[in-house]
Structure 1
Amino acid sequence: MDQKKQTEILAVHDITKTFGDTAALKNVQFNLIAGEVHCLVGENGAGKSTLIKILSGAEVPDKGSITVFDQEYSRLTPDLALQMGIATIYQDIELIESLTVTDNIFLGHEIKNRFGTVDYATQNKKARQLMDSMSINIPETALVEELSPAQQQTLQIVKALHIHAKIMIMDEPTSSLGVEETKALMDLVRRLTSQKIGVIYISHYLDEVFEIGDRITVLKDGQVVDTFETKKSDIKMITKSMIGRERSLFYNREKIKTGPVVFQVRNLGRHGLFENINFDLHQGEILGFGGIVGAGRSELMNVIFGADHKERGQILINGREINPLSPREAIREGLAMIPEDRKLLGLFDVRSVLENAIIVKNESNQPILNHRSERSEIKRLIERLHIVSAGWGLPVGFLSGGNQQKVILARWLLSKAQVFIFDEPTKGVDIGAKEQIYEIMIELVKEGKSILMVSSDMPELIAVSDRIAVMREGKLVTIVNSQDVTEQELLGHFLGINDKGGIKQ
C-alpha cells in the first residue's frame, strides 16, 4: 500500500500508561491508514491489550495524544470512540445469546414505530440488507446461541458496520475458529478494507498476519520496536524483533539434581479445553508450561487442582491415582496452587496477612484455634519470605502485588504440599519481587518439592524451568529442555513455526 496516496485516519503520539510500578506502554507511536490492515504483534504482556483499551476508551493514558480523523484528543471515552467510528471486536464474544441476530445488531439503537414500540419487521429488513451488502449469510431471526463461533464473530463485525465504524480493532479474531472459518473471516476483512475501513488486527498467528496485513508493528515491553511493510519482511524478521533480548539478561538460577518421577498425568482431557495431555514431573523439578493465550494451560492446572473436573484420563502421585473433585481434596492429596488471579482466587483482601496465610491450617477443623502459635508461625514466614508489611494484622489488600504473592506462598508452606502449581507466578510484580519469588521456588525444589509453572514470560520459562511443556490449541505438542532452547525456537513452538519459517501442520 502506497501510504502517501492514502488518508491517515488514526494516530497515537507518545502514549504512555503505567499501572503501579509497571509501565504498560512507553511513548508509543502508531497510525492507521484508511483501507489498510495494520497488524499489531508482540509477546504476552507486550502492551497490545492496553493500547486497545486506550483506543476504545476503556483506559486513560497517562500522557500522549490520539488523533482521529484530524481531531486530537488527550483521551477517549467509550461513547466518544463509538461516535468517532472506532469499534473494538474483542476475543471474547460480547453478544446476548438469548436475543436474535437482529436484536443484537440494534441493541441500544432500536427502531420504534409511531406507538413507541420496537418495529421488529423494519429492524429485520434492515439487518438483512446490511448483511447482504457484505455477503454474510446469517439468518437475521436466529438466536445468537444457535450460531457457530465464526458466525458470532462475524455478527460482532456486523454490529460495528451498523454504527458506521470506519476503524475496527480486532483482538485475536480467529482464536476459536477452524481453518475454513478463518478463511471466511479473512475474506470479510478484505471486503471491509475495500470500503476504506481501517483495521487494527491483533494476532499471535503470524501466518494470518502475513496473509492479511499491509503493515506489522511489533510491541515489546510496552514500546514499539519497529513497523514493517508486510511485503518487505518475513516471519523470521518479525520473531527476532518480538524477542530482542540476550540470554545473559535472564535470571541465573541454581540447578538442582532431580529425583524420581513423583507426579504423572495420563491422557487427561476436558472437552473444549484440552485433550490427551501426558507428562511426568520429577522430584525437585520445575516443569514450565508455555504457549500463547488460550492454549489451555491454566485450564489444565484448574483440573489438576480440582477447581474443574476432568472428563477422562488419570492423575497420579507417587504411582497412586487421585481424582480431586475440589481444591480441598487436592490439598489433602498434597497439591498446592498459586493462581494467576491472586485477588479473585487466592486472597481475602479485607482480611489480615495472618488470616490469609493460616487459613490452610484452620481448614483442618481443629475445635480450638491457637492464636499464639499462629502468630509465631506467621512472623517466622514473614521473615523467611521477606514480606514487606506493617505487621501480620494488616489487611492483605494493602500489600504490593509481590508481597501478596508471598502471602499465598506462606499459606502453602504451612501445608504438607509436595507438588506446587504456580500459574503466572510473577505477573504484575516488580523486578526485585520477581527474583525473591524465584529464590523461594528454588528453595522448594531443594527441599524435594516439585513445581508446575505456567508462564507467559519466555525469559522466565527458560531461566527458571528445568523443562518446558509447550501447549497449543489444547494439546501438549512438545517438551523441551530449557537449556537447549532459545527464545526464538520457543516462540516457534508456541506459534507452530518450523525452522524454515513455515507453519507446522
Structure 2
Amino acid sequence: MTAPRLRMTGVRKSYGPTAALRGVDLELRPGEVHALVGENGAGKSTLMKVLSGAEEPGAGTMDLDGAAYRPTGPQTARERGVAMIYQELAVCPDLTVAGNVLLGLEATRFGFLRKAVDRERVAAALAQLGHPEISPDAPVSALAPAARQVVEIARALVSDVKVLVLDEPTSALTQEDAARLFALVKRLKGQGVTVVYISHFLEEIEAVADRFTVLRDGQAVGGGRVGEVSRDRIVELMVGRTGTEHYPRVPHAIGTPVLELADLRGEELPDGVGLVLRRGEILGIAGIVGSGRTELLRAVYGLDPVRAGRVTVGAHSGARFTPAERIAQGVGMVSEDRKTEGLALDLSIADNLTLSRLDATAGFLARARLRTAVGDLLRRFGVRYRDAGQAVGELSGGNQQKVALARLFHQRADVLLLDEPTKGVDVGSKADIYRQIGAAAAEGKAVLVVSSYLPELFGVCDTLAVMCRGKLTAPRPVTEWTPEAVIAAATGA
C-alpha cells in the first residue's frame, strides 16, 4: 500500500465549551480524491481549517510526507504544499488573473519583479489545468465563477500543491462547468496531487472520489472505498440513525386554484408562461440554469418587472405588484441566494423570522407573542441555535435555510415560492425541509418549487413542469414523467 501523503491523528478543537472536533483520525494518500462528507456542523470545515493552517488544533498531531506538520497559518501551509479553496472564492476582482495567481508568490531578482517569468508561470499553470484560454492579463472581475475557481486552483499549483481541499466546489457552477471541474480534479489526481473533496451531493462523490470519510458531531464515524458502500449506509452514518427517509411524504389533498398565470412575460424571461397552482399542491419546475425558472418566481413575487400577461392570486389580478403587496396577498418567497437576498445575516434569528409580519397591538409590538411564535417555529423546524437573539449568519447553512422557510409560515403565506430550497444543505436538514414542505401542503398551502436536483423534484412534488428558454410545459403528475423525459424537455430535445 502507498505510504500516506498526510496523516491526522487525534485532532481536537474546541470553541469555549463547544467541542467542534473530538479526536479525529484521517489518512490521505498521494494521487487520490478523498471525499469528506457529513451534515452541516459535523466538523468538516473545522478539520480542513486545521489542515490548511487557518485554525490551530487544541490537540493531536499531523504528518505530511512523513515529516511533522503544524502550520502557523495558511501561508506556511501553502509553503508546505497544502491549499484550500473555499466555497466563497477568495479572489481579488480588481486584479488580473496573473495578479491573483501570484499574489505574495512573485518571482524576484535583486529586489525587482521578474514579470516575464511570472507570466510564463501563470500561463503554464493554466495550461496544466486545461484552461489555456484564460488570459493572465484578464481582469478577474470579467470571469465567470467557474473560471475564477480555476484561477484559485492555479494559484495552488504555482505554490507546488501536494494537498488541495475543495469545499463545496460546485455550489455556484452550472452542470457543464461542474463536469469540467470533475475532469480537472481527475487531471490533478493523475499528477499525484491529493484532493480532499467536500460535498453534500453523493452523486458528485461517486463521480469523482476514490475513498470517503464521514464526520458526525466532530468525530470520524466511518469510511471506505466509493462504490463499495451504499448511499443509504453513508446517509445512516451521516445522520446517526437507520431508516432515514430521503423524501418523507406528508399526506395532503389538492384543492382549488389559488395562483394562476396567464401569458406571463418578463423583460426577457419568462416568455408567455401559463400555470395553475392549487391549494395543497406541490408543483415542481425543472430546467437547466438560464431557462428562466428563477425569473418566473421573481416576476410572480414582484421582484422583476412584468412586460405582459397576468398573475391572479385569489381576488387580486394584474401584471404589476410589489413584494410588499404580494406579502399582503399571502405570497411568500425563499430566494436561491440565501446570503444576500434570503436572509439578513447580521440580524438575529428572531428578526429574520418575523420581519415580514410584525405582530402588533394598537401600534405596539406584541413582544411576548412574537417570542412565543419564534420559539414554536424554531422547534417545529428543528433549528439548532443558541438563542433567538443570535445572528442568523452564525448558523450552519441548513439551519439558515430552515429559518428562511419558517419565515413564510410566520408570515401565514398561502402560496410558497421556493427557489432551490435545499441548495447547500446537508442530508438531514434536507429531509426536515421536505417534511415541512409536505406539512405546508397538508395545511392547504400551495407550493411552487424550483430545483436543479431531479431526485428532489421526483421525491417531493405532486406535479411537474419543465422550463426551456423561458417557456413552460404543461404541468403533469410527477408519475407521468421520467428523468429522461425531463432532461429532453429541458434541453429542447
TM-score normalized with structure 2 length = 0.64
Cross-structure match for 2:224: 227
Native 8 Å contact 2:56 2:72 kept in 1? yes
Q: CA deviation at 1:228?
A: 0.7
Matches within 5 A, 1:19-168: 28-40=24-36, 49=45, 51-58=47-54, 65-71=61-67, 77-111=73-107, 118-131=113-126, 137=132, 138-147=134-143, 151-168=147-164
Which of 396, 400, 412 is matched with 2:389 structurally? Answer: 396
Query: RMSD in angstroms over aligned alpha carbons?
Result: 6.3
Once residues 397 and 159 of structure 1 are traced to their aligned partners in structure 2, the CA distance between those partners, rounded to angstroms, is 36
**1: distance between equivalents of 2:186 and 2:378?**
55
The one-character-per-residue Cα deviations of 1:368-427 (angstroms, maximum 9, x if unpaired) are 9532x8457547747976989xxxxx98338997999999899767756422457569x7
After TM superposition, the structure 1 = structure 2 runs for residues 424-503 of structure 1, keeping only pairs within 5 Å, are 442=439, 448-451=444-447, 467=462
Residue 42 of structure 1 and its aligned partner are, at CA, apart by 6.4
Look up the SS of the partner of 1:155 in the other structure.
Answer: helix
- Residues 33 and 295 of structure 1, relative CA distance in 2, 3 Å threshold: farther
Between the aligned partners of 1:24 and 1:479, the Cα distance in structure 2 is 46
Distance (Å, rounded) in 1 between the aligned partners of 2:55 and 2:474: 38
- Structure 2's unaligned 5+ residue stretches are 381-386, 488-492
Q: Distance in 2 between matches of 1:360 and 1:256?
A: 26
Looking at structure 2, the residues matched to 142 and 170 of structure 1 have their Cα atoms a distance apart, in angstroms, of 24
Question: Which one-letter code corresponds to 1:419 in the other structure?
Answer: V
Counterparts of 1:17 and 1:292, CA distance in 2: 41
Evaluate the alpha carbon distance shift between residue 253 and residue 92 of structure 1 in structure 2; reply closer, same or farther with a 3 A threshold. closer
* Corresponding residue number in structure 1 for 2:188: 192
Give the count of matched residue pairs. Answer: 465
| Secondary structure of residue in 2 paired with 1:103 | helix
Shift of 1:227: 1.4
Match of 1:283 among 263, 279, 282: 279
The 1:166–1:308 alpha-carbon spacing in structure 2 relative to 1, beyond 3 Å, is farther
Decide whether aligned partners of structure 1 residues 337 and 193 sit closer, same or farther in structure 2, where only a CA change above 3 A counts.
Answer: closer
Give a deviation string over 1:179-215, Cα, whole Å, max 9, x none. 5x667655554553444322223457777756654x2
Does the 8 Å CA contact 1:387/1:406 hold for their aligned counterparts? Answer: no
Equivalent residue for 2:233, pick from 241, 254, 257:
241
> How do 1:356-375 residues align onto structure 2 when only pairs under 5 Å count?
357=354, 360=357, 370-371=363-364, 374=366
CA distance in 2, matches of 1:309, 1:71: 61
| Residue in 2 that maps onto 1:500 | none
Question: 2:383: which partner in 1?
Answer: none
What SS does the aligned partner of 1:240 have? helix
Aligned counterparts of 1:403 and 1:238: Cα–Cα separation in 2: 27
State how far apart, in whole Å, the 2-side matches of 1:50 and 1:292 are.
33
1:257 is paired with a residue whose SS is: coil
Which residue does 1:216 correspond to in 2?
A: 211
**Post-superposition shift, 1:86?**
1.1
Partners of 1:41 and 1:202 within 8 A in 2: yes
Deviating more after overlay: 276-285 vs 88-97: 276-285
Does the aligned pair in 1 maintain the 2:267–2:305 contact within 8 Å?
no
Q: Give deviations 1:78-106, integer Å, cap 9, x for gaps.
A: 33432321112345544334332222221
Higher mean C-alpha deviation, range 408-417 or range 127-136: 408-417
Q: Is the 8 A contact 1:15 1:61 kept in 2?
A: yes
Which of 172, 176, 185 in structure 1 is aligned with 2:173? 176
Residue type at the aligned position of 2:325: E
Q: Is the 8 A contact 2:339 2:345 kept in 1?
A: no
Once the two structures are TM-superposed, the CA of residue 76 in structure 1 deviates from its matched residue by 6.7
Q: Distance in 2 between matches of 1:329 and 1:165?
A: 54
- Provide the C-alpha distance between the structure 2 equivalents of 1:30 and 1:319, rounded to a whole number of angstroms: 60
Cα separation, partners in 2 of 1:172 and 1:324, compared to 1, 3 Å = farther
Secondary structure at 1:397 match in 2: coil
**In the aligned structure 2, how far is the partner of 1:387 from the partner of 1:205?**
27
Q: CA deviation at 1:10?
A: 1.5
Letter in structure 1 aligned against 2:212 = T
Offset at residue 217 of structure 1 (A)? 0.9
Per the TM alignment, residue 467 of structure 1 is displaced from its structure 2 partner at its CA by: 3.7
SS of equivalent to 2:100: helix
Q: How far, CA to CA, are the matches of 1:91 and 1:25 in structure 2?
A: 21
Q: Report the Cα distance in structure 1 between the residues aligned to 2:74 and 2:37, rounded to whole angstroms.
A: 24
Q: Which amino acid aligns with 2:138?
A: A
Question: Once the 2 structures are TM-superposed, how far is the Cα of residue 33 of structure 1 from its aligned partner?
Answer: 1.3
1: CA distance, partners of 2:453 / 2:294: 14
Matches within 5 A, 1:251-262: 255-262=251-258
CA offset at residue 176 of structure 1?
2.6
Q: Residue in 2 aligned with 1:391?
A: none
Would the alpha carbon gap of residues 208 and 446 (structure 1) be closer, same or farther in structure 2, given more than 3 Å must change?
Answer: closer
Alignment partner of 2:8 out of 8, 12, 18 = 12
- The structural deviation recorded for 1:154 is 3.0
Check 1:379–1:277 CA distance in 2 against 1; reply closer, same or farther (3 A cut). Answer: same
Identical aligned residues as a percent:
29
Length-normalised TM-score, structure 1: 0.63
- Contact 1:14/1:28, CA 8 A, preserved across alignment: yes
Deviations along 1:401-458, one digit per CA (max 9) or x if unpaired, are: 7999999899767756422457569x79x99xx79x978984x656644345789999
Aligned mates of 2:233, 2:474 — CA distance in 1: 24
- Please tell me the residue identity of whatever aligns with 2:224: T
SS at match of 1:201: strand
Cα distance in structure 2, aligned partners of 1:38 and 1:361: 48
